[in-house]
Structure 1
Amino acid sequence: MSTICGGIFTSHVPGIGNAIAKGLQQDPYWKPFFDGFDPVHDFLEREKPDVAVVFYNDHGLNFFLDKMPTFAIGAAPEYRHEDEGWGIAFQRPYEGHPDLSWHIIEEVVESEFDPVTCQSMLVDHAVAVPFELCWPGKEAFPIKLIPIAINTVQHPLPSPKRCYNLGQAVGRAISTWEGDEKVVIFGTGGLSHQLEGARAGHLNPDYDRFCLKNLAPDPEALLQHSSLDIVELAGSQGVEIINWIAARGALTGSVRELASNYHIPISNTAAATVLLENSETVRA
């Protein structure tokens, strides 16, 4: 039966994509961040997961302010990345897993969530950059993608608790899937940053370290703040931590941290990468 092997949590800054495109991984500015992926590469090579369920936020590629779902789940046979103006031309397509996608959709609706279902969907840098970081140089991605988009843009935003509960529902859905796939969970975005307004450039290392400290052993500690509290603490884009919170909720086994990397700043963003092992496999 299906298993969840672990979780990968990482920033998805477009500047990282440009650094990859320009081959700047060993540049002194970028090297401390890219070095954080060595244990991730080792983990993926060892576990060889079949499916990646990715909690992320869309940046206007599929949804805009006039039509912004709180949650949207992809159920397409294939996804493609489109350049949003950052000059990141990642061409490798992402194979989907429609059967497992629909199973997850059906189960989360049964859990009283109401996601938008997307049988045709593009993915932006919030998916493309983490995939390029995790599988650099591969001719094709050795994994199937199920994207789950969370609204971090148009208020009212979902609460951290709501996102955590969504992740738990997704984890339960995977546990009842009758296939034999090994699944890795992604949470992308953050950490603290704000790109506009009077607080442009805002960073909060104290809040970032609070999140990193509690993500594995005590994720419910991250639920004490409302989404608006997080905007105040971490910046208007720092609220992307709710993607991490949802992904952590999907890890339903015994979770322990294998690696953590924090680097500040990367393109006005506090960037981090965390690798968690879900050591008790999830079985139906």
Structure 2
Amino acid sequence: MARITAGVGSSHIPLLGVAVDQGKTTDDYFTPIFSGYEWTKEWIKGEKPDVIILVYNDHASAFDANIIPTFAIGTGERYKPADEGWGPREVPDVIGEPDLGWHIAQSLILDEFDMTIINEMDVDHGLTVPLSMMFGQPEAWPVKVIPLAVNVVTYPVPTGNRCWLLGEAIRRAVESYPEDLNVQIWGTGGMSHQLQGPRAGLINADWDNTFMDGLVGTSDKNRTIPHIEYLRETGSEGIEMVMWLIMRGALGAETRLLHRHYHVPCSNTAVGHIVLEPVT
């Protein structure tokens, strides 16, 4: 059967994609950020995942205020990089895994999650930056990707508990797929940041690190964090961290920490990165 072998959490800051694309990853400003991903880049070469379920949020590229799906799963064969106002990133097209994508979609809907199914869309920095952080600048991405987009832009957004439960349902779906596949699940976004208003530039390192602590071991306290706490403690965009809880929920009752990285600042936010494996 297919199995989820690891979970990765990572920020998806657009400036990191610019640094990769312009060859600036070893500049003084970026070196401490990218050095925290070197362990993961070597680790993933050995893991050789077949498929990544990549949880991210769209930034008004595929969706806008006219269509706001809470959870959307990509079942297409190929996804092109989106034009976010300055032209598409010059990165490879993302290759999908339609058979597994449709299987997960069916399983989730029968498990009473109302998924939006997307067969064609462009994917923005929320999805392509994490791939660049883990794989650099290959001619083709070395893994197939199932995009899973979550609305964390327009309220109401899903609760952390609902995201955790979705992760558990994704695990059940993957384990019911008969093909022998090595599947990873990535949760992206965050960490604490606010892009506008009087609190623009807010970073709460203590809260961020406590949140990452809660992803390790048997604790499930992160699933009960209310929306108002994310807003108060991590800024208006810190709510993106609920997407990490889909990853955590998919790893089962207990996790083991493989790698962790945190750095302030990058652009106007904090960079968070964690690699976990399920304890079975």
Pick the TM interval, shorter chain. Answer: over 0.9
| Correspondences of 1:137-152 after superposition (within 5 Å) | 137-152=137-152
Secondary structure of the 1:58 match is coil
Within 5 Å, which residues of 2 pair with 1:13-32?
13-32=13-32
Letter in 2 for 1:257: L
**Correspondence list, 1:32-43, <5 A:** 32-43=32-43
Kindly provide the amino acid, as one letter, of the partner of residue 78 in structure 1.
R
Higher alpha-carbon deviation: 66-75 or 218-227: 218-227
Partner Cα separation in structure 1 for residue 177 and residue 231 of structure 2 = 36
- Shift in alpha-carbon separation, 1:195–1:70, aligned structure 2, 3 A: same
* Post-superposition offset of 1:250: 1.1
Within-5 A mapping of 1:30-69: 30-69=30-69
Report the counterpart of residue 173 of structure 2 in structure 1: 173
- Given residue 257 of structure 2, which amino acid in structure 1 is its aligned partner? E
Q: Offset of 1:26 from its aligned partner?
A: 1.2
Deviation at 1:277, TM superposition (A): 1.9
Shift of 1:83: 2.7
State whether structure 2 residue 246 is matched by structure 1 residue 242: no
Query: Is the 2:203–2:270 contact (alpha carbons within 8 Å) kept by the matching residues of 1?
Result: yes
With the length of structure 2 as denominator, give the TM-score of the two structures.
0.96
**Matched residue, 2:109:** 109
Q: What's the secondary structure of 2:54's corresponding residue?
A: strand
- The offset of 1:168, in angstroms, is 0.8
Aligned AA (1:195) = L
Give the match's secondary structure for 1:81.
coil
CA distance in 1, matches of 2:134, 2:86: 20
Question: What SS does structure 2 have at the residue aligned with 1:248?
Answer: helix
1:89 matched to 2:97: no
List runs of 5+ in structure 2 lacking aligned partners: none
Percent of aligned pairs sharing the same letter: 39
Distance 1:140 1:183 in 2: 18
Q: CA RMSD in A?
A: 1.4
**Partner amino acid for 2:35?**
D
Q: Which residues of structure 1 form unaligned runs of 5+?
A: none
Q: Once superposed, which parts of structure 1, at least 4 consecutive aligned residues long, lie more than 6 Å away?
A: none
Q: Distance in 2 between matches of 1:90 and 1:228?
A: 38
- The structure-2 alpha-carbon separation of the partners of 1:242 and 1:4, relative to structure 1 and needing over 3 Å to count, comes to same
> Residue 219 and residue 28 in structure 1: after superposition, are their counterparts in 2 closer, same or farther (change >3 A)?
farther
1:2, CA displacement in angstroms?
Answer: 1.0
> 1:1-284, aligned counterparts within 5 Å?
1-85=1-85, 89-252=89-252, 254-280=254-280
Report the alpha carbon displacement of residue 151 of structure 1 after superposing the two structures with TM.
0.6
Which has the larger displacement, 59-68 or 189-198?
Answer: 59-68
TM-score (norm 1): 0.95
What letter is aligned with 2:275? L
